[in-house]
Amino acid sequence: MNYNKYIQYLESTFEKSFAFSQTVALKRDSKLLEGFIYKAEEEISFNDFYSNGNENILKYAGILAGLAEKNAPLFKKLPTELNCKLQDIEQIANNLIADDEEHKRLYEVFKLGAEFCLYIYIDEMYRYNRLDNRAKFQNILTKAKKIAELDKITAKHEFEFKKLIEQGEALIESTKSLDKKLESKNFLKRNAFYAAKNFYWSHEKGSFDDMSNLEIKSYYFRKVKEEIKMKHQLLQSEFLKASSSSNDKIKIFS
């Protein structure tokens, strides 16, 4: 068996898959906006069935308004159909907050926390994170290379090697599968829902009634930084596991 040939094939296939994922990631921002627009539109269509229907609409309308303030150029690139839907959502939201202070406050809180919602949403969409997959994949390669470098390869080694190749191929397939999901409207709506729901729990615990807008912004900015720091530590841990068994240090953050 030509072990190095299998390793080279796996490396090449993974890199092609990862490169494709990066092109998909370039479309991510517009996909995120689509998700929140679709969800707001869904809440509008079901508004008459829920006692808190107006609040649900304002959550997504507020998120979209907050994102629009920070990402105006991105909103200009929206397809005409989605742009029309966005304008309809804005009009409905303006009508709801015109004479209702509670609705206006809810809208403002979600508008201020739009970036935090966006971060939660990204986390949901990329639950099987690209860097996580890369760390796991490099760990598989390291083990496979150690077997290939042995002077004497036993039947047990060969069995272990084949299992490692299968695990590597499974990771490649999981990456491809996630890319396909990104094109699904239901997937976008579901994750937009989780982002808003998780944000609302933070909103309830935060007791923002006595906080100024600046304090709310500061609170969510700090929360986002904490989340990013935690994720980075987890990824760094994966990296150390992947590289500790070999002198061949692979930089997954390159």
More confident residue, 249 or 17: 17
What single-letter amino acid sits at 33? Answer: L
pLDDT tens figures, 180-206: 776 778 888 888 888 888 777 766 655
pLDDT band of residue 254 (cuts 50, 70, 90) is very low
162's CB contacts (< 8 A; 6+ apart) are none
Residue 160 pLDDT = 92
Residue 252 pLDDT = 26
57's CB contacts (< 8 A; 6+ apart) are 40, 43, 44, 47, 89, 92, 93, 96
Of all helices (H) and strands (E), which one includes residue 216?
Answer: helix 213-243
Check pLDDT > 70 for residue 46.
yes
Contact 200, 59 (CB under 8 A): yes
Q: Under DSSP, is residue 242 helix (H, G, I), strand (E, B) or coil?
A: helix
User: What residue spans define the domains of the chain?
Assistant: 3-243
Residue 87 pLDDT = 93
Q: Which two tokens stand for residue 206?
A: 């935060």
CA distance linking residue 77 with residue 90, whole number of Å? 17
Q: Look at the pTM and tell me if it is higher than 0.75.
A: no
In 3D space, the residue among 137, 115, 100 whose CA is nearest the CA of residue 221 turns out to be 115
